[in-house]
Amino acid sequence: DTGVSQDPRHKITKRGQNVTFRCDPISEHNRLYWYRQTLGQGPEFLTYFQNEAQLEKSRLLSDRFSAERPKGSFSTLEIQRTEQGDSAMYLCASSSGGQRVFGPGTRLTVT
Amino acid sequence: QKEVEQDPGPLSVPEGAIVSLNCTYSNSAFQYFMWYRQYSRKGPELLMYTYSSGNKEDGRFTAQVDKSSKYISLFIRDSQPSDSATYLCAIVTGNQFYFGTGTSLTVIP
């Protein structure tokens, strides 16, 4: 499979716990994006990497959120001290400067 | 004012109908116009991509852009039950993607 993959696909966690999601982009894509999507809304931009450098962060990305792309390949998104409002689909996308290809998403439920 | 406005629907049509999905946008600097299809609990997949005013066809799908009115449309001909999904418009300038809220479409057999 040469598409964008995300792991896990679903995560249920209790409020206050930390969670980490992984995204594996298309191998030749140097740009990687994280989005959050809630029910009935379009994807909202969170952050963007070009290779290993995090070039842009949305104001939606509070200090409880951190993203890394240590070797310019896969990326992780960690949410610390989760809140019920963090429940959403977290989407990763990659591109080589043109069209963005989205992964299947990680659905987070915070109880 | 939001950068992109899209009627969320839901839209329900009989199989074989022509479907029209629309978005309006506010910034005339927007350069590229995309339509994504998103099935339930899946990530968005790119359907159509255009950057100029006018029509672009791909099979049963036609993307239409009217830059003077800041209006984009996606038409689906001979709609099929497998077209049932949420359709998102995305409008791009530079590295910024602005998504609409999505229109939920159900095609009834």
DSSP A9: S
Q: Which tens digits make up the pLDDT trace of A53-96?
A: 999 999 888 899 999 999 889 999 999 999 999 999 999 999 98
The span from the CA of B15 to the CA of B80, in Å, is: 5
Q: How far is CA A21 from the centre of its chain?
A: 7
Q: What is the pLDDT of residue B2?
A: 81
Mean pLDDT (whole number) for A14-21:
98
Contact of A11 with chain B, judged by CB distance below 8 Å, is answered with no
Confidence category of residue B8, pLDDT binned at 50, 70, 90 = confident
Q: What is the pLDDT of residue A99?
A: 82
Q: Which residues contact A102 (CB under 8 A, 6 or more apart)?
A: A4, A43, A91, A92, A93, B36, B43, B44, B45
The residue in chain B having the minimum alpha-carbon distance to the alpha carbon of residue A44 is B99
The percent of residues in chain B predicted with pLDDT above 90, rounded, is 72
Contact of B41 with chain A, judged by CB distance below 8 Å, is answered with yes
The span from the CA of B48 to the CA of B39, in Å, is: 16
Mean pLDDT (whole number) for B61-79:
95
**B109 compared with B32, residue with greater pLDDT:** B109
| 3-state DSSP assignment of residue B34 | strand
Contact of B2 with chain A, judged by CB distance below 8 Å, is answered with no
Interface of A with B in 18-77 (CB under 8 A): 40-45, 48, 56
Q: What is the pLDDT of residue A1?
A: 54
**Are the beta carbons of B99 and A56 separated by less than 8 Å?**
no
Contact of B35 with chain A, judged by CB distance below 8 Å, is answered with no
The percent of residues in chain A predicted with pLDDT above 90, rounded, is 84
Q: Which residues contact A25 (CB under 8 A, 6 or more apart)?
A: A4, A32, A73, A74, A75, A92, A94
